[in-house]
Amino acid sequence: MSCLTSDGPAATVRHPGPVPLIASLVLVVAACTGALQPSGPAGTKSPPDATPEAVISPSPAATPTEFVTVTPSSSTTAAPTDPIAASATRIAERFERARSSGDWTTSWNLLSAFSQRQFGTPSAFETSEAAYNSAGGRRWLVAQVTRDPDLLDSTFLGAPYDDAAQTADVRRASLITINHPDVAGASAASEGLLIAPLPNGDWKVWIVH
């Protein structure tokens, strides 16, 4: 009996002698089945198709958040509810923000004529305040705002108050204490600003100490 092979003419199955019909059929089927297998090296099996492993790319590294501390800063623990004191506080903050950041034109123009005379010239003011900033004056905070009449007088404030009483509306004046935590020495680290409006409505700064 013969059967088809996958790579050549029909293969012949030979039997050594008479074999029962069913046994012959079994042998023929087995022989043909083996003949139809793909040819390859003896004793080897074709491995199953390998499924390629998925490649997982690592997630890109997260960019760290940068925190930047701005040195010129202000902090008022409690904003004044008195509108006059609130206006004076805004002027004091504007002055300190300009002075501490080196905006000499803005800070000089906010000074009263009295305080400008104390420095003499804009260049002298710049030299003095730049040195103060280098000594720690760039950091500042509003420590106290008051309109206490016992503090807003000539006895306590001296010449700056006397000048303000003659050139400004001291009924709307406020005394604001500025602290500079990085400046050594309690006296040098504390600054008093008398803030009051001129008759034309412009608010000015008198440096008290």
CA distances from 134 to 60, 96, 107, 130, 206 (A): 42, 15, 17, 6, 22
What is the Cα–Cα distance from 125 to 111, expressed in whole angstroms?
11
One-character DSSP codes across 28-81 = HHHHHHHHTSPP-STT--PPPPPPPPPP-PPPPPPPPPP----SS----SS--S
Same domain, 187 and 109: yes
Same domain, 18 and 100: no
* Structure token pair of residue 110: 């906010």
Any domain includes 49: no
| pLDDT(14) > 80 | no
Any domain includes 150: yes
| pLDDT(106) > 60 | yes
| 19 pLDDT tier (thresholds 50, 70, 90) | very low
Any domain includes 140: yes
Same domain, 186 and 108: yes
Strand, coil or helix: 139:
coil
Same domain, 108 and 200: yes
Same domain, 195 and 93: yes
Q: Could you report the per-residue pLDDT of 21-32, keeping only the tens digit for each?
A: 344 434 444 444
- pTM value is 0.63
Q: Could you report the per-residue pLDDT of 110-128, keeping only the tens digit for each?
A: 999 999 999 999 999 999 9
Same domain, 13 and 102: no
Q: Could you report the per-residue pLDDT of 196-207, keeping only the tens digit for each?
A: 999 999 999 999
The pLDDT value recorded for residue 203 is: 98
| pLDDT(20) > 90 | no
Q: Could you report the per-residue pLDDT of 56-103, keeping only the tens digit for each?
A: 444 443 333 222 223 444 444 456 788 999 999 999 999 999 999 999
What is the Cα–Cα distance from 208 to 196, expressed in whole angstroms?
13
Q: Could you report the per-residue pLDDT of 152-188, keeping only the tens digit for each?
A: 999 999 999 999 999 999 999 999 999 999 999 888 8
The pLDDT value recorded for residue 185 is: 87
Any domain includes 138: yes
Same domain, 15 and 104: no
Average pLDDT score over residue span 49-56: 48
Q: What is the mean pLDDT of the chain?
A: 76
Question: Domains in the chain: how many in total?
Answer: 2
The pLDDT value recorded for residue 78 is: 52
Q: What is the DSSP letter of 199?
A: T
Domain around 24 = 2-35
What's 121's domain CATH number?
3.10.450
Same domain, 114 and 22: no
Any domain includes 60: no
Same domain, 14 and 109: no
